[in-house]
């Protein structure tokens, strides 16, 4: 019975993708023409909720961007708060999360298809559960984008979490009226992304593509502030002390080469120690969820490092 319940899910989801499957197949080759992007409506801003998003730190980050630079690089792009705010002319955005990067590509290259799909998706727990289970990696970038944005808007707290088999496993968020399709913002983001290169790669590869005069903003997963948090678990296949030390070395190499760097991280003592020599540290205030309870938000100090 369980298996039977699982199988029709794909069929019902497929039938709810009217613009995606038959539409895309029929119009291949003409897709560029269909993408009529409205000229000035909507402002580019993160189209995803992203844990650790930097929107509230923008007033501190913006003045630390050099007034002149070659290419803008953001190797932990996540929701891209600084990129969308600053809108550099030439940019390389990357992240280790392949579905995230395919989502950016879908929005950049096929925004009208993404909007068409998202507008057809209902806010409904059963549909959410069907979406969670599909084998999305076999779909087009536009479909991956619609999938990612839908789950991000309707899943609990906008979290992105997968199990060992890379299956998204965040519960339904049960929000009253989530905005599933913000078409104007998506079109504005597509315009902002038009001349960007989008790469799925780990942060250290940035060394191979930067030139003197470029600017790199690194916003890695933070070193946890509290020693009681799950830092050890975090390091397993994730981002632990070895990666933080490697990141510091990458930043050092880039600086020596004449590349401007800016990093953000928590104000944990180990971060002060890592960047104590040869870097300039500034402490800035940010409002963050400081424990796992919804009410546990507070003002914490974070570090901006150059």
Ligand X SMILES: C[S@@+](CC[C@H](N)C(=O)[O-])C[C@H]1O[C@@H](n2cnc3c(N)ncnc32)[C@H](O)[C@@H]1O
| Residue whose pair of structure tokens reads 């280790």 in the numeric block | 96
In a 3-state reduction of DSSP, which class is residue 299?
A: strand
Which run of H or of E encompasses 137? none
Q: Is 171 in the site for ligand X (CB under 6 A)?
A: no
Q: Is 84 in the site for ligand X (CB under 6 A)?
A: no
Q: Is 224 in the site for ligand X (CB under 6 A)?
A: no
Candidate residues 78, 106, 155, 173; the one interacting with ligand X per rule CB under 6 A: 78
Closest CA to 80 of 237, 188, 206: 188
Query: Distance (Å, rounded) from C-alpha 11 to C-alpha 4?
Result: 12
Considering the complex, what minimum distance in angstroms separates the CB of residue 113 from ligand X?
24
Considering the complex, what minimum distance in angstroms separates the CB of residue 23 from ligand X?
30
User: Of 203 and 275, which has the nearer Cβ to ligand X?
Assistant: 203
For ligand X, the nearest residue by Cβ is 78
- Give CA angle at 270 (267, 272), nearest 5°: 60
Q: Which stretch binds ligand X (CB under 6 A): 3-11, 105-113, 214-222, 283-291?
A: 214-222
Name all contacts of 168-173 with Cβ < 8 Å and 24+ positions apart: 168/132, 169/132, 170/132, 172/125, 172/128, 172/129
Considering the complex, what minimum distance in angstroms separates the CB of residue 37 from ligand X?
24
Q: Which of residues 235-274 bind ligand X (CB under 6 A)?
A: 239
Per-residue binding string, ligand X, 88-117, x by CB under 6 A, is: -------xxx--------------------
Considering the complex, what minimum distance in angstroms separates the CB of residue 271 from ligand X?
14
Query: Distance (Å, rounded) from C-alpha 78 to C-alpha 111?
Result: 19
Q: What is the full DSSP assignment across 198-227? A: EEE--GGGGGGT--TT-EEEE-PPPPPSST
User: Of 9 and 202, which has the nearer Cβ to ligand X?
Assistant: 202
Candidate residues 47, 73, 75, 262; the one interacting with ligand X per rule CB under 6 A: 75
Q: Is 54 in the site for ligand X (CB under 6 A)?
A: yes
- Give CA angle at 198 (195, 203), nearest 5°: 130
Considering the complex, what minimum distance in angstroms separates the CB of residue 50 from ligand X?
4
Candidate residues 221, 234, 252, 272; the one interacting with ligand X per rule CB under 6 A: 221
**How do strand 196-200 and strand 260-266 relate by DSSP bridges?**
unpaired
- The annotation status of 95 as a binding-site residue, yes or no, is yes
Q: Is 79 in the site for ligand X (CB under 6 A)?
A: yes
Using CA atoms, how far residue 193 sits from 56, 73, 113, 140, 145, in Å, is 21, 13, 16, 18, 14
- Residues forming a β-bridge with 305: 263, 281
Q: Is 76 in the site for ligand X (CB under 6 A)?
A: yes
Q: Which of residues 193-212 bind ligand X (CB under 6 A)?
A: 202-203
Q: Is 170 in the site for ligand X (CB under 6 A)?
A: no
Q: Which stretch binds ligand X (CB under 6 A): 31-39, 141-149, 217-225, 250-258?
A: 217-225
Closest CA to 86 of 60, 49, 58, 47: 58
- Residues forming a β-bridge with 261: 216
Contacts with ligand X by CB under 6 A lie at 50, 52-54, 75-76, 78-81, 95-97, 202-203, 219-221, 239
Q: Which residues are annotated as a binding site for S-adenosyl-L-methionine?
A: 50, 54, 95, 219
């Amino acid at each position: 019975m369980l298996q039977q319940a699982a199988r029709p899910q794909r069929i019902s989801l497929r039938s709810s993708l009217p613009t995606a499957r038959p539409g895309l197949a029929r119009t291949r080759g003409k897709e560029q023409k269909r993408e009529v992007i409205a000229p000035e409506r909507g402002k580019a801003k993160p189209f995803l909720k992203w844990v650790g998003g930097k929107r509230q730190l923008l007033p501190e980050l913006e003045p630390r961007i050099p007034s002149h630079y070659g290419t803008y690089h953001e190797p932990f792009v996540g929701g891209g708060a600084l990129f969308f705010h600053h809108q550099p002319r030439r940019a390389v955005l990357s992240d280790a999360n392949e579905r995230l990067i395919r989502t950016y590509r879908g929005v950049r290259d096929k925004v009208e298809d993404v909007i068409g799909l998202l507008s057809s998706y209902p806010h409904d727990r059963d549909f959410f559960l069907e979406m969670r289970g599909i084998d999305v990696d076999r779909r087009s970038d536009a479909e991956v984008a619609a999938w990612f944005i839908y789950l991000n808007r309707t899943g609990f707290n906008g979290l992105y979490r997968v199990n060992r088999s890379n299956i998204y496993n965040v519960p339904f968020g049960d929000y009253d009226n989530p905005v599933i399709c913000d078409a104007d913002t998506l079109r504005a983001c597509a315009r902002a992304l038009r001349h960007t290169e989008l790469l799925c790669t780990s942060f250290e590869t940035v060394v191979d593509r930067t030139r003197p005069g470029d600017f790199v903003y690194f916003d890695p997963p933070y070193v946890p502030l509290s020693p009681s948090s799950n830092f050890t678990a975090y390091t397993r296949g994730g981002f632990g002390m070895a990666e933080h030390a490697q990141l510091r070395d990458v930043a050092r190499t880039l600086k020596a080469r004449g590349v401007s760097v800016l990093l953000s991280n928590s104000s944990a003592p180990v971060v002060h120690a890592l960047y104590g020599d040869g870097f300039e540290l500034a402490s800035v205030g940010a409002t963050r969820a400081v424990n796992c309870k919804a009410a546990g938000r507070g003002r914490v100090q974070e570090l901006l490092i150059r």
